[in-house]
Amino acid sequence: MRHGVPEFFRTLSDQYEIVIFTREPSTYAMPIIDKMDSEGYIWYRLYRDFTRHEKGEYYKDLTNLNRDLRRVILLDTRADASKTHPENVVVAPKWDGKSMDFWLLDLIPFLQTLASTRTTDVRPILTSYQGTDIPSAFAENQKRLEAEMELRRAQQAQQAQLQASKPQLTPPAFGGAGGSVNPWRR
């Protein structure tokens, strides 16, 4: 089993309806999914009989989920896993069965941010990340945004300090302590 699967399910189960959608027949996939989900975080299991078959290939038709596709994310190792809805696909690197990769765990912050921002349509966001390693690209975007925010805060602090250091002349008519500030009157 890929490293981090139980933690991935556990962490995201409060924010997502987790559904396993596989091209494999249930007789083959069921024991594997049982092992992956020993804690019961998976809501539904969809097997090969829920896929479409065309030209010798099985693919996942997301309309079979009966869910608003603006809110559906399909995590798969194949970019063409859903030929009808490629904008919903997040492509995970294929697991080699040996190495302890942390890709699933590294993807969690991206998915948590998507859920917490309550975006109305995930597809434009997913599309903007297509062709990238999402965990790495998202982490870089977060660093860039944090640097921009820090720069903005520094500029605002500098502006406030400049304003505070300027002498304030307020005419008596506007509640000031006095003194004429009319440049035409001497």
Domain-located, residue 157 = no
**CATH classification of the domain holding 52:** 3.40.50.1000
Domain-located, residue 10 = yes
Q: Give the pLDDT of residue 99.
A: 78
**Domain interval for residue 45:** 5-131
Domain-located, residue 162 = no
Rounded alpha-carbon distances, angstroms, from residue 12 to 5, 28, 110, 140, 181: 11, 26, 11, 22, 63
Question: DSSP class of residue 92?
Answer: P
3-state secondary structure of 97: coil
Domain-located, residue 86 = yes
Domain-located, residue 138 = no
Q: Give the pLDDT of residue 173.
A: 59
Rounded alpha-carbon distances, angstroms, from residue 78 to 70, 96, 118: 20, 14, 26
CA distance 67 to 34: 24
Domain-located, residue 164 = no
Contact 60, 82 (CB under 8 A): yes
Q: Give the pLDDT of residue 96.
A: 86
Q: Give the pLDDT of residue 169.
A: 66
Domain-located, residue 74 = yes
| Predicted TM-score of the model (pTM) | 0.78
Low-confidence stretches of the chain (pLDDT beneath 70): 168-186
Q: Give the pLDDT of residue 165.
A: 80
Q: Give the pLDDT of residue 175.
A: 57
How long a stretch of residues is the chain?
186
Domain-located, residue 160 = no
Q: How many domains does the chain have?
A: 1
Q: Give the pLDDT of residue 138.
A: 96
Helix (H) / strand (E) element for 59: namely: strand 57-59
CA distance 157 to 151: 10
